[in-house]
Structure 1
């Protein structure tokens, strides 16, 4: 009985495997970018490198970069894709995330006023 699978065309031959080259490499690049941006974000906050306003601006920029890296490397979405339903779903998710983000900031801003405690000294 002949073996119809050649060793050089096997999916386990990592040197010549197209699946390994295309997908695994992209996932590794995306993971490294996400890990690097997350570490930078934690260090900025932990070491208190900037003022409060500048920290928020820098973290927001790093957040936007990380979101685009996640979209490109993990979700494999791009503008040139012919399947527009994926882009509509992405826009919907971005709208929901924006509502949650703005709502959270609004609640935290008003939390100080609503939780104000009056101390009565005797």
Structure 2
């Protein structure tokens, strides 16, 4: 199961190429489809937290690659990301040891 997740996120990473694109969800019978802004970023150190905060304000779904983060700062940084996401009304999901997903699905 973990292997499938890893392959899925590797494909997702290569598809986005760590950029930002706007994707429309499938057509819904009732109402118009809403556009969602998705972004992928990396967390390497505490200095990257300000950039992540600004991206959280701009996008609906943010994938954060934490595989390159320093292990001694990782838990503190995740707590800070959870606090920032809580202030913005987003939720944080830990998918596997490499990825964190921050989403504002309630706004969509």
TM-score surpassing 0.5?
A: no
Structure with greater proportional strand content: 2
Choose between structure 1 and 2 for higher RCO, CA contacts under 8 A separated by at least 6 residues. 2
Structure with greater proportional helix content: 1
Q: With the length of structure 1 as denominator, give the TM-score of the two structures.
A: 0.27
Indicate the structure (1 or 2) with the bigger Cα radius of gyration: 1
Q: With the length of structure 2 as denominator, give the TM-score of the two structures.
A: 0.29
